[in-house]
Structure 1
Amino acid sequence: MVRSDPYPTTVEQNLAKKLALLDQMKDDRPDLICMTECMLDANCYPSYEERAGNALAMDSVPIRALADKARELRSYLTFSFFENENGTLYNTAVLFGRDGEMVGKYRKTHLTTGEYDMGIVPGRELPVFQLDFGKVGLLICWDAWFTETARILAMQGADIICVPLNGDGVPHHAEHVWPARAFDNGVYMVYSAAYKGSPSSIIAPNGQFLASVAGESVHQTVEIDLEKRNTLCPHLSVGLAIGEGKVLYFAERRPDLYSRYYTPGKRD
């Protein structure tokens, strides 16, 4: 997990700062690195129009430099940036593999008003990616405020959900809701925030904060065991579920019941 304030005012300066932060992690030999949302251009342009006009292509020099760093570190690396694909704009979280090649990408599905003003187009998929140690899902900032997004990733087998974000403007939201996402779905949640007013945190499937940092640009490495049973309570269930959230919730959920009350797009 890497948190970094995007204080430089050019993409080149931001890139240099991010590469230097990644270099600091070499001795940790991380398997997976989660960086922040739109980390290359946050303070670079005075208007939405200029920022949109300078959105980066996937094969641009800054993105390739970060892919090369993933290869150098032999780590999986994910972060978000404003992507221009043939004239269409997205807020994209890309996931590079240990070889520097793209494993996959996720496009932010729940946009802010500012992103709509920029002409950003929302994504339409919630993919999960198989890595050499487990399955990883991606969300971006505002996406994680919606309970359905993390649940859908967990239902597809995600062991870890990485959330690059600019920041959380409601302090108690990070304190209470972030661990709830982990607890409710039996997954590890990794939040990496850009701004020093927001924490960056790694949270276990039982809702426990394994690490949380704030302030200036820092990184935190945590070793987790994806084979470890994360039992919530042995008396919560019987049979297959045996109290482990990742099994319990999905073995005993009642979609036949919920569908009676849920119509997509409907508000009462």
Structure 2
Amino acid sequence: MQTEINKVELRNLQIEDYKQLKNSMVKAYCELDESYWEESEIENLLSIFPEGQLVILVDDKVVGSALSLLVNYKKASSNHTYQKITGNSTFSTHDPEGEVLYGIDVFIDPEYRGLRLGRRLYDARKELCETLNLKSIIFAGRIPKYSEYAEEITPKQYIDKVRLKEYYDPVLSFQLSNDFHVLKIMKNYLEGDVSSQEYAVLLEWNNIYYEKSPKLINARKSVIRLGLVQWQMRPLANLEALFEQSEFFVDVVSGYGSDFVLFPELFIAPLMADFNHLNEADAIREISHFTEPIRKRFQEFAIAYNINIITGSMPYTEDGNLYNVGFLCKRDGTSEMYTKIHITPNEVQYWGMKGGSEIKTFDTDCGKIGIMICYDVEFPEMSRLMADEGMEILFVPFLTDTQNAYTRVKLCAQARAIENECYVAIAGCVGNLPRVNNMDIQYAQAAVFTPSDFAFPSNGIKAEATPNTEMTLIADVDLDMLKKLHEQGSVRILKDRRHDLYKIKKL
């Protein structure tokens, strides 16, 4: 895999992609002879079912694909060979009225495996199945590790052992982890597939929304899942220890299907312990050298775990000035920086920090969001400007030492949710941190706040963590509820402003 990835894109296949498609396919199926589609075959496939052909690109290079047909359920679920189901690669078996999405191919360039790109292709197939209101996805999966056990056990026994995780099969294990279930075993499915002994496992994924109105592929989601990290301050041996603990939390919340994960303000402070012999200002400037490596690693996490990461904040130096910044690392491989605008007296006195000068919102695959670091949330003008740009979720990474400091952040965050008719998620650090000057104690309680109206919790709190305990908080927020609130709420704060008397604008 290349050392740094800047962009990941999932879209429909185009004939112009063929050369790169062929190169990736040859590498993916290096153990099979003539393991690629001819350009004329791809052109034919695109002519009969263009929406069913997907590719995934990394930095504008095709590195994987998922190809499919529509067939009727009886044909898809009965015994068949690969040549038969594809009409000897003519795709004459495609039936526009078919109720099954039949997967005829899926692969990832070996150089790009380990980034969970295959999972994205399968998720896109599931979305397509729902969009077209199809009964299920069916395909025959190879079992390339079976040849190692063929003399000892039957295919059925092999499948059972893979299901029980006694054996690992790179294809079947992946399919089972993606909620596919086994329909049957088929012999002589793919001629020349020696590693599978020409066996294949017919697998199915059922569309629970069948006959209902489904979502469009890559369409704006309504229900967004947020994962908040309440981070325990602890001594860290080195930067890799920070990455290990961070990846643990990313893995956990992504495992629950979260769309975002939020880390606290200055959660990397334990790294200052090695520089505690210096004064506070010099110590924090020393760890600013870690900021770019942290951004790069979190960008990799965002891709690998298919989640948008808000990295809390960390020190950053530019032109000799020290800032408090963080990064929105999107799961498409891109990242954007945000900067703390309002600097506390403590940050000025001990660290000599300066405030940023740009107030902005961020477009994501889950709507428009805003990010404000701690003290910023206590200034209502900022979030109002973001609301005017369409912000739906405001994320607030914070760091507070005492309960009264936390109360300021909490109550102001709740006010921002009400007055801007948006969701607000806050996350902070907990515990004590010896051997780091000016970072001795922390108090926090992560939470998700909502507007205050009948459709929302009566106290305006969607979810709260246990105070001062390391944990994650996972909560769903419904963006469609905000749209209804804007138009039909008991009060309509954004609409009822008196622009004839007052107005807030950026300078």
Q: TM-score range by the shorter chain?
A: 0.7 to 0.9
1:3 and 2:3 are equivalent in the alignment? no
TM-superposed deviation, 1:222:
1.1
Alignment of 1:111-190 (within 5 A): 111-117=343-349, 118-167=351-400, 169=402, 170=404, 172-173=407-408, 176-190=411-425
Aligned letter for 2:255?
D
Q: Which amino acid aligns with 1:23?
A: D
Structure 1's 242 and 20: CA in aligned 2 closer, same or farther, altered over 3 A? closer
Aligned with 2:383: secondary structure? helix
Structure 1 residue 81: deviation in Å? 1.1
Q: Secondary structure at the match of 1:228?
A: helix
Which residue of structure 2 aligns with residue 211 of structure 1?
Answer: 463
Cα distance in 2 for partners of 1:42, 1:185 equals: 35
Instruction: Output the aligned Cα RMSD.
Output: 2.5
Shift of 1:18: 1.6
Farther off after superposition, 73-82 or 209-218: 209-218
Matched, 1:243 2:489: yes
CA contact (8 A) 2:430 2:470 kept: no
Contact 2:377 2:409 in 1 (8 A): no
Paired residues of 1:14 and 1:41 also in contact (CA < 8 A): no
State whether residues 38 and 166 of structure 1, in contact with CA within 8 Å, keep that contact through their aligned partners in structure 2.
yes
**Residue 254 (str. 1) matches residue 498 (str. 2):** yes
User: Are the structure 2 counterparts of residues 140 and 175 from structure 1 closer, same or farther at C-alpha, using a change threshold of 3 Å?
Assistant: closer
Q: In 1, distance between residues paired with 2:371 and 2:482?
A: 23
Aligned letter for 1:96?
Answer: C
Match of 1:223 in 2: 476
Does structure 1 retain, via aligned residues, the 8 Å contact 2:375–2:409? no
Percent identical among aligned pairs is 23
Q: CA offsets per residue over residues 156-189 of structure 1, 9 Å max, x none?
A: 1100000001127315435543322211110100
1:66 alignment counterpart: 298
Match of 1:81 among 308, 311, 314: 314
Contact (CA 8 Å) 2:231, 2:428: kept in 1 or not? yes
What's the offset of the Cα at 1:228?
1.7
Q: Does 1:32 align with 2:253?
A: no
List alignment gaps of at least 5 residues for structure 2. 1-227, 432-442, 453-458
Q: If the length of structure 2 is used for normalisation, what is the TM-score? A: 0.46
Residue pair 2:378, 2:408 contacting (<8 A) in 1 also: no
Deviating more after overlay: 38-47 vs 196-205: 38-47
Task: Report deviation, 1:106.
Answer: 1.3
> Which residue number corresponds to residue 235 of structure 1?
none
Q: Distance in 1 between matches of 2:380 and 2:365?
A: 27
Q: CA deviation at 1:250?
A: 2.6
Task: Provide the secondary structure at the position in 2 that maps to 1:83.
Answer: strand
Aligned to 2:429: 194
Q: Deviation at 1:229? A: 4.4
1:242/1:24 Cα in 2 relative to 1: closer, same or farther (>3 Å)? closer
Contact 1:9 1:44 in 2 (8 A): no
The answer on whether the counterparts of 2:423 and 2:477 sit within 8 Å (CA) in structure 1 is no
Q: State the number of aligned residues.
A: 250
Structure (1 or 2) with the larger CA radius of gyration: 2
Does the 8 Å contact 1:40/1:81 carry over to 2? yes
- Cα distance in 2 for partners of 1:184, 1:108 equals 21
Flag structure 1 segments of 5+ consecutive residues without an equivalent: 233-239
State the alpha-carbon separation in 1 of the partners of residues 499 and 238 from structure 2: 46
Question: Of 279, 303, 325, which aligns to 1:92?
Answer: 325
* Aligned CA distance change for structure 1 residues 208 and 11 (closer, same or farther; 3 Å): farther
Identify which range, 165-174 or 35-44, moves more after superposition: 165-174
Deviation string 1:19-54 (CA, Å, 9 cap, x unpaired) is 222222232121111111011125624322211233
User: Residue 315 of structure 2 contacts residue 324 of structure 2 at CA under 8 Å; is this kept in 1?
Assistant: yes
CA distance in 2, matches of 1:82, 1:165: 14
Distance 1:189 1:139 in 2: 10
The offset of 1:128, in angstroms, is 0.4
**After the TM superposition, which of the residue ranges 184-193 and 11-20 deviates more from structure 2?**
11-20
Shift in Å, 1:198: 1.6
Q: What's the CA shift for 1:10?
A: 5.0
Deviations 1:203-232 (A, max 9, x none): 112262111113332111112211124767
- Match status 1:16 vs 2:251: no
8 Å Cα contact 2:378-2:409 kept in structure 1: no
For 2:229 and 2:247, locate their aligned partners in 1 and report how far apart those are by CA, in whole Å: 11
For residues 88 and 99 of structure 1, what CA distance do their matches in structure 2 show?
Answer: 31
